[in-house]
Amino acid sequence: MSAAPSGTKPSDGPAYEVLRNEKVGRYAVATRDLEPGAEVLTELPVAVGPKVDSMLCCLACYAYNDGSTLCSRCGWPVCGPDCEAAAAHAQAECAEFSRTGVRLAPVEDPADSCPQLECILPLRALLAKERDPARWQREVAPMQAHDDRRRDTPGWHSNQVNVVSFLRDRCGLADRFDEELVHTVCGILEVNCFEVRCENGALVRGLYPQTAILSHNCIANTGHTIATRSETGEQHRLKLHVTVRVPAGGELFTSYTHSLDPTMVRREMLSRGKFFECCCERCKDPTELGTNLSTLKCSKCDNGVLLSADPLEPSAQWRCTRCEFCTRGEAVRRVLQLISNELQMVEAGDSVEARETLFRKYRSVLHPRHAYMSQMRHSLCQLYGRVDDYLLDDLPDVLLERKVDLCRDLLAVADVVEPGLSRLRGVVLYELHAPLMYLARHKEEFGEIDSKEMCRRMEEAAACLSEAAAILALEDASTNEAAMGRAAAAGLLQLRASLDHMRQQHAQSQ
């Protein structure tokens, strides 16, 4: 059994133990019954740093940097004196680059990816190994790097140039870090890192060895939150909790994929980036457990849909459920790539119209609840009520009802792919409460419903707020989702008071 993770109540003992088998290596199981929301562990990262293919950014706060503001000591990008002095930078690469005189080479276009930054996180991890060899040996050394499978990939050769040779030859660290170790660290980071969102919205990656013990499943039973800031100086602390009830002895799962991606996309990402083939129940089911997140419409008949004959085989045929039409997996992959590219372009802005246009465009191609339709719903339900010309006070009833439908369809999907106390469910419930309230008020104002029905509809909105507040209270207090949860709790108090007043008025009128 592993040592109790920091943050676990001593009286309860550790919430999980680490076991091992030939199929997945290490994995975690609950040591006792864990109810939804129960904390499993908390941990600080071994290292945090820019993603691969990151644009030029500050090496302390990770905000975009155009290359004009550089550290006075090492000549690498920072935002200013505060970031220059931040421990994440000053006590890591700054000390090494200052000593060796290695400077950031001029960058032609700061908006492009900056290969020079690829060395930062591996270097920080290597320095962490020197600072705390005991933790490294206990937590990081057992992690999988898949060096044998990575060796002939483009990523390996990129690491050889941008990380291994740069650190060992240019930075003069060959006597401290041998080539095999640096490659292995690159592999550990690639296979095991989690995405970290910073206070300014920047996305980086961090290595959390305890959390990485959990096996992947495309329907996870845990969720984690990472602090965007800390008053105590701790940076990016992660807290892991269960989202559904997990019985004693039940395996704990995390997910390295986006829950609203189709099976083909999820499995390719895991194979390419994490070096394993996911065979979970969701991946094996052509209908994705009835959600139809991968289902296409048949172009040859009415009401027919295309499903993969074998979702675990990328080249398998896709067959219509009503006619004889079939197509190859590669053709489906091309369609998904085309739609994904268009979706990424639309998601770069905050245009409601562009998303609705794309949504209408692919209604004849994708199942109504296909993953990409669900992703657009996710964006639209958050934009309606928040952007100019679409603020809640400006929305006609038809668009309020549109937002309600978007939220309800998303919740139906979330109930399957992110069940329980998931962040997705909490956010969508919060988005749902407002249009429910506005519609109820409008209908009462125009005499379409009586006061009793008005109270019933407001109670529905209150239930959404109550559940959203409970779910989002699990998020770290520094995150945007936690702020949304606090707003939900405050809104619930106001709505309850309003409901009490309405009932009093109704009773007096009887």
How much is the pLDDT for 33? Answer: 97
Predicted confidence (pLDDT) at residue 16 exceeds the cutoff of 70: yes
215 and 100 assigned to the same domain? no
Burial of residue 507 (number of CB atoms within 10 Å: 0-12, 13-18, 19+): exposed
Please give the mean pLDDT across all residues of the chain.
Answer: 94
How much is the pLDDT for 158? Answer: 96
Tell me the per-residue pLDDT of 151-177, one tens digit each, with 9 for 90 and over. Answer: 989 999 999 999 999 999 999 999 999
80 and 136 assigned to the same domain? yes
197 and 79 assigned to the same domain? yes
Say if CB 353 and CB 379 are below 8 A apart: no
In a domain, 215, yes or no: yes
Say if CB 114 and CB 59 are below 8 A apart: no
93 and 234 assigned to the same domain? no
The model's confidence at residue 8, banded by pLDDT at 50, 70 and 90, is: very low
d(CA 7, CA 196): 20
pTM of the model: 0.92
Q: Specify the amino acid at residue 63.
A: A
Q: Reduced to 3 DSSP states, what percent helix, strand and coil does the chain have, rounded to the nearest 5?
A: 45, 15, 40
Tell me the per-residue pLDDT of 330-345, one tens digit each, with 9 for 90 and over. Answer: 999 999 999 999 999 9
Backbone φ and ψ of 296, nearest 5°: -105, 155
In a domain, 504, yes or no: yes
In a domain, 371, yes or no: no
How much is the pLDDT for 24? Answer: 87
85 and 187 assigned to the same domain? yes
Say if CB 236 and CB 227 are below 8 A apart: yes
Q: Specify the amino acid at residue 462.
A: A
In this prediction, residues 85-108 reach a mean pLDDT of: 94
How much is the pLDDT for 2? Answer: 34
Identify the domain containing residue 189 by its residue range.
Answer: 47-206
In this prediction, residues 7-17 reach a mean pLDDT of: 68
Q: Three-class SS of residue 499?
A: helix
d(CA 2, CA 471): 28
159 and 26 assigned to the same domain? no
58 and 165 assigned to the same domain? yes
In a domain, 88, yes or no: yes
Predicted confidence (pLDDT) at residue 454 exceeds the cutoff of 60: yes
The model's confidence at residue 352, banded by pLDDT at 50, 70 and 90, is: very high
d(CA 113, CA 493): 47
Q: Give 11 or 430, the one with higher predicted confidence.
A: 430
Q: Specify the amino acid at residue 140.
A: V
In a domain, 228, yes or no: yes
- Percent of the residues in the chain that have a pLDDT greater than 70, as a whole number: 97
Q: How far is CA 504 from CA 280, 508, 509, in A?
A: 53, 6, 9
Q: Which domain-ending residue is among 147, 172, 206?
A: 206
The model's confidence at residue 1, banded by pLDDT at 50, 70 and 90, is: very low
Say if CB 185 and CB 139 are below 8 A apart: no
The model's confidence at residue 232, banded by pLDDT at 50, 70 and 90, is: low
d(CA 252, CA 239): 14
User: Number of structural domains, the chain?
Assistant: 3
How much is the pLDDT for 13? Answer: 82
40 and 176 assigned to the same domain? no
Candidates 221, 220, 227; CA nearest to 206 is: 227
Say if CB 373 and CB 357 are below 8 A apart: no
Q: Which residues contact 36 (CB under 8 A, 6 or more apart)?
A: 242, 243, 244, 245, 420, 421
How much is the pLDDT for 7? Answer: 37
| Alpha-helical runs (H) found in 2-159 | 81-85, 87-90, 93-100, 120-131, 133-135, 147-150, 154-159
The CATH number that applies at residue 218 is 2.170.270.10
Q: Which domain-ending residue is among 254, 281, 314?
A: 254
Q: Three-class SS of residue 224?
A: strand
Tell me the per-residue pLDDT of 107-122, one tens digit each, with 9 for 90 and over. Answer: 889 889 999 999 999 9
157 and 212 assigned to the same domain? no
How much is the pLDDT for 6? Answer: 36
